[in-house]
Structure 1
């Protein structure tokens, strides 16, 4: 009877954690929902303020739930080398994915195409906030912190696989190449977090990747 009670309690904790993860995912898309409704000056300001608030909120939630974000060592040569190496591996994965897309006669993923369309009428600074800063922090806290670390605990291998697939799925892949690009990115982020123990490393790589895309879209 005691084992049954413990089992039910364990299931209850996991279900509650999944509900929290879902709630955090909903919060993370609030700026997008605002901008989808309108791109008026008021909506742009509101989306910016909400995004800034969410950045603070997600960082705070991570630290409060024993998911350390900041590691001072990231500013050392070793820390920077880790970020650069992970980013380089991610670029190689993306290059392979986009090569496969070209073989299919496509030039970009459906997700990228929808982002390009969505950002029309959005100032560069706000695009950087909503498309680079927020996803980098929110998605890493939710998927690497809560989903991988909290939900799977010591089952690291299973957690890495499932969280990588979930990350890929959330980006709406429509073909194998898209799965490689987004699932591969999720895998790199998750392994990076698992090896370092700090969210700032996948956040940094995630941000650099997204920020470069935003800069390229607006200025190149």
Structure 2
């Protein structure tokens, strides 16, 4: 029992550390955005540091993820071939996310739900530094977030292949994903959690993190169009 608690504590610590590292990298973009209008030279330095750390973290995350799969991988995660059937099912998952987004936006338009506060902040950041905020949001964030909230999360806590483990894994993964996008428990948290649930289901169904990354990419891209 003591050994189990120690192992789980180490996993929780490692998972939290990965989130902190990602948030610190994201804070470099926030700093660049803040100085974009006041001190462009300093903003460019922040962007340069951000790009260097993005490259380093992508290499690190990829190495850690593949290392974990080699050590213990009962769910048989890995690289699966892209086929027409798989792509068609990925498109179906995207349609599900799109329907959720449209339904939620209609509730906001009709004043049945409030506008997410983080959405307002995001739009403000994009106005101040459009190119890099869009690049980060569409191309970089999906990779980091899928590694953390799907890849590492299931490897650390729900690697066991069972129905109960799958249900709890998807539920908790989505809730953590939702909370970290709102930093509070609200109705809006459920919107992000529902997106997290679809992404977690995608990862577990296809057993290839590239599919959930692609779906996450398409979702974020859709918000810009």
TM-score, normalising length from structure 1? 0.83
Instruction: Measure, in 2, the Cα distance between the counterparts of 1:31 and 1:132.
Output: 15
Match in the other structure for 2:3:
9
Matched, 1:195 2:205: yes
Instruction: Give 1:131's match in structure 2, choosing from 129, 137, 149.
Output: 137
| Structure-to-structure mapping, 1:48-197, within 5 angstroms | 48-66=51-69, 71-74=79-82, 76-104=83-111, 108-124=115-131, 126-154=132-160, 155-172=165-182, 175-176=186-187, 178-197=188-207
Structure 2 residue runs without a partner (length 5+): 37-42
Residue 198 of structure 2 aligns to a residue whose secondary structure is: helix
For the Cα contact (< 8 Å) 2:143–2:213, is it kept in 1?
Answer: yes
1:114-139 CA distance string (max 9 Å, x none):
11222333252x33442122221111
Instruction: Measure, in 1, the Cα distance between the counterparts of 2:20 and 2:124.
Output: 21
Instruction: Measure, in 2, the Cα distance between the counterparts of 1:201 and 1:157.
Output: 20
Instruction: Measure, in 2, the Cα distance between the counterparts of 1:52 and 1:183.
Output: 28
Q: CA deviation at 1:197?
A: 1.4
Instruction: Measure, in 1, the Cα distance between the counterparts of 2:185 and 2:110.
Output: 15
Instruction: Measure, in 1, the Cα distance between the counterparts of 2:130 and 2:21.
Output: 22
Match in the other structure for 2:19:
25
Instruction: Measure, in 1, the Cα distance between the counterparts of 2:98 and 2:212.
Output: 14
Instruction: Give 1:37's match in structure 2, choosing from 28, 31, 38.
Output: 31
For the Cα contact (< 8 Å) 1:55–1:134, is it kept in 2?
Answer: no
Q: CA deviation at 1:156?
A: 1.3
Q: CA deviation at 1:194?
A: 1.4
User: Which segments of structure 1 move beyond 6 Å, counting only runs of 4 or more?
Assistant: none
The 10-residue stretch of structure 1 (156-165 or 45-54) with the greater mean CA deviation from structure 2 = 45-54
- Structure 1 residues 205, 153: CA separation in 2 closer, same or farther (over 3 Å shift)? same
Instruction: Measure, in 1, the Cα distance between the counterparts of 2:77 and 2:25.
Output: 23
Number of matched pairs: 206
1:71-102 CA distance string (max 9 Å, x none):
3523x212211221111100011111222222
- Structure 1 residues 17, 139: CA separation in 2 closer, same or farther (over 3 Å shift)? same
Residue 127 of structure 2 aligns to a residue whose secondary structure is: coil
Residue 73 of structure 1 aligns to a residue whose secondary structure is: coil
Instruction: Measure, in 2, the Cα distance between the counterparts of 1:51 and 1:123.
Output: 18
Match in the other structure for 2:215:
205
